[in-house]
Structure 1
Amino acid sequence: MFQNQIEYIPEGIFANLRFLTTLNLNNNRLAKLPKDICNLRSIEILSLDNNQLRFLPIEICALGRLKVLKISKNRLERLPLEFGFLSQLEELHVPLNKLRELPESIGKCYKLKVLDVAANDLRIFPTETEELPLVELHCEENPLLSHLPVHSIQEEEILSLKELTARYIMTQLKDRFSPLRAQLRHYPELKQMLAQSSTCAVCSEPFLNTWLECVHFIKPRKLKLKNSSVGHSQEIPIRALLCSYKCFNQKNHEYYGVAFP
C-alpha cells in the first residue's frame, strides 16, 4: 500500500488481518494509526516511512511478533512509554523525526540489534542502552550532550515520608525471611507502585520517585558495534539515575549532573 495518497485508516480495517506478516505504508499522508492495529498479531515487518505521524498509538506495543519497525521521515515527537513490550523487535529505524528522547523501556527490547535515530532532537540515551545487543547504531545529527565536566557539590535533600517508607520497604524485601514479603500480597496497589522503582547507579539501592538524573559517557567500542555512524572518538551520553545527592557527592564515580547553558 506504499506510495499512495492515504490520509487515514478507518477503525476495523485490521480486525481480521491476523495472519498478515508484512505491511508497507511508506510514502502516504498518514497522520495517525488506528488503535486496532493491535489485531495484526502476526506482523513481523511494519514500514511507515515518509508519512505525517506525530505519535504512535499505545496499541502498537501489543505487536508481540514485530521484528522490524521503520518510521523514518515523519513528525514523531515521542514513542510510547510501553515500547519495551515489543520483545521480539530486532530493528528500529526512526531517523528524520523530532524525537526528544527514547523511552526508558526500550532497554527491555532484548533482541534489538539495529537502532537508527539519526537526525532527531535526542540529547541522551536511555539507562539500559548498554545492555542492548546492538550491532548497528546511527545517531548523527542529534544535539547529544557533550562531556565538559564542571565541579559541583549539592546539599543533601529532605525526602518525603512516602519516599522514605518505600525505600525502607524495598530494602526489607531483599530479605527473603522478612514478614513484609507475605504482607505485600494483600496490597496489590502498593506492589504495583513499588514495581515502578529504580536502582541507584552508585549505591545500587532501590528508590521510588525522587532521583537525580545524571549522565555518563561511553565510547562506541564498548557497545561492540559492527556498523555505526558514530566516530571512534565520539562519546555516547547514557542516562543514569541516582537516589540522592549523597551518592552524587561521592568521589570516584563517572556520573555527571546535567547542566544547561
Structure 2
Amino acid sequence: MGRKAMAERQLLRALRGGPATRSIALTARRLRHLPRSLGNMKALEELSLRDNSLRRLPQEIGALSRLKVLNLGNNDFEEVPEQVKFLVSLQKLHLFGNKITRISPLIFDGLQNLVLLNLNNNQLSHIPPEIHRLENLECVSLDNNKLKNIPKELCCLQKLRELRLSHNSILALPEEIKYLTKLQILILSRNKIEELPDGLCKLKKLKVLDVAGNNIPVFPTAMEDLELEELYCEDNPLLEKNPVRAIQDEDILTLKELTARFIYCQLGNKNIYLQRALKKNQQAQHMLSHKRKCAQCGCCFLGMWLECVQFRMKTSRNLDLLPVRVLLCSYKCFNRRDHGLFGIAVP
C-alpha cells in the first residue's frame, strides 16, 4: 500500500470516531487534501493538521462551529485560507512554516474570539490594517517574515499581551504603540530599527523587551520609566563614553526661541497678565504646547536644543549602562562639569 493511500485511510479512520469526536491529530501524514465529511464533526474542538502538504481547506470546514484550536503549521499554504473566518469559536490559529505571502482583509471579518495568531516563518511583507478587528487577540507572533513596517492599526488591539516580530526588516515602530497598554512581551530582535519611539516608554506593563541586533544608537529619554525584568540590546551600535568639551560656548537663538523661553519663565513665575493674554490666543497656546525641558537646568525651551546622552543603569544581564537620549537648552548647560552628559559626536 502506498503512503498516500495509507494517509487517506488513517484520515478516514479518524473521522469514523463519529460526530461526537472533540479532538483529531493528523500530523506528518503527507496529506494533500481533506475530505468534505470533515465538516460533519460538529463537536470538534481541536484539529491538528501540521507537517503535511496541504494547500487549501474544504469549504465544509467552516461548519466546525465549536472548533477552538486549529494547527496548520508546516504545510504549503500560500495565503491564509479564507474558510477560517467562518470558525466562530476559534481561539488559536497556527499557520507557522508555510509559504504565505498575503492575508486577505476578509479574514478579519470573522475570528472575533481569536486569542493567538501564529504566522512565524512565512513570507509576509504586509499586514492588513483590518487586523484591528480581532479585538480579543492576546498574542501575535510574526517572526521570520519580510515585514518592513507595522500598521498603526495593530496598536488598537487593547488586549494584546505578547507581540513577536523578530527576524524581519522593520525600519521603525509607530508612535501609536503607546496604546498597547497591556503589552508585557515585545520581541523586535534582528530587524533594522534605528530609533525607538517615545511612546514605547508608556507601556507600564512591559516586562520583556528584546531589541538585539538592530541599528539603535541611543534609547528614548523616558526609558527609565519602564519596569523591565528582561532587556536584550546586544549587537546594536550603542553610543560609547568619550568625553569631549564643546568648542562653542554661546548660543545664537532666534527671536521666536527667545520669546518662547521668556514666556515659559514668566508662566513659571505665575505672571497672571500673561496667563490671561494666552487664554485669548489659541495659536500661541498650540505653539507653546510643544515645549521641552532641559535635563541640566530644568528650564523650558521650544525648538532649539542640544541632543545628548546620559548613561544610566538598567536591568540587563548583558549590559550595565545604557545610552539614554536627553536634551539640553544651551552649550552653557552642556559645558558644566560633572553632569554625566555626553554630546553625540559626528565622525
TM-score in terms of structure 1 length = 0.86
Contact 1:52 1:74 in 2 (8 A): yes
Contact 2:245 2:335 in 1 (8 A): no
Residue number in structure 1 paired with 2:318: 230
Distance 1:246 1:119, change over 3 A: same
Residue number in structure 2 paired with 1:44: 138
Contact 2:96 2:119 in 1 (8 A): yes
Secondary structure of 2:324's aligned partner: strand
Residue number in structure 1 paired with 2:337: 251
Aligned-pair identity (%): 46
Contact 1:124 1:239 in 2 (8 A): yes
For 1:259, give the aligned amino acid: A
Deviates further, 81-90 or 21-30: 81-90
Distance 1:246 1:117, change over 3 A: same
For 1:230, give the aligned amino acid: N
Alpha-carbon offset, residue 50 of structure 1? 0.6
Alpha-carbon offset, residue 70 of structure 1? 0.7
Alpha-carbon offset, residue 187 of structure 1? 5.1
Q: 1:75 aligns with which of 169, 186, 207?
A: 169
Secondary structure of 2:262's aligned partner: helix
Distance 2:327 2:270 in 1: 26
Matches of residues 11-50 of structure 1 in structure 2 within 5 Å?
A: 11-50=105-144
Give the number of equivalent residue pairs: 253
Deviates further, 81-90 or 25-34: 81-90
Q: Could you give the per-residue CA deviations for residues 168-215 of structure 1, whole angstroms, max 9, x where no partner exists?
A: 344444456735556555555554444433221111222222211101
Secondary structure of 1:149's aligned partner: coil
Distance 1:162 1:177, change over 3 A: closer
Contact 2:246 2:331 in 1 (8 A): no
Secondary structure of 1:43's aligned partner: coil
Distance 1:69 1:190 in 2: 40
Residue number in structure 2 paired with 1:158: 252
Distance 1:242 1:91, change over 3 A: same
Distance 1:177 1:167, change over 3 A: closer
Contact 1:76 1:97 in 2 (8 A): yes
Distance 1:45 1:257, change over 3 A: same
Larger RCO, structure (CA 8 Å, separation 6 or more): 1
Residue number in structure 2 paired with 1:126: 220
Deviates further, 9-18 or 32-41: 9-18
Check if 1:178 corresponds to 2:264: no
Q: Could you give the per-residue CA deviations for residues 235-256 of structure 1, whole angstroms, max 9, x where no partner exists?
A: 3111111122221122231111
TM-score in terms of structure 2 length = 0.66
Secondary structure of 2:199's aligned partner: helix
Check if 1:10 corresponds to 2:114: no
Alpha-carbon offset, residue 2 of structure 1? 2.1
Deviates further, 114-123 or 203-212: 203-212
Distance 1:170 1:145, change over 3 A: same
Instruction: List alignment gaps of at least 5 residues for structure 1.
Output: none
Contact 1:93 1:116 in 2 (8 A): yes
Distance 1:17 1:143, change over 3 A: same
Deviates further, 183-192 or 140-149: 183-192
Distance 1:30 1:214, change over 3 A: same
Higher Cα Rg, which structure: 2
Check if 1:212 corresponds to 2:306: yes
Contact 1:184 1:190 in 2 (8 A): yes
Contact 2:186 2:210 in 1 (8 A): yes
Residue number in structure 1 paired with 2:179: 85
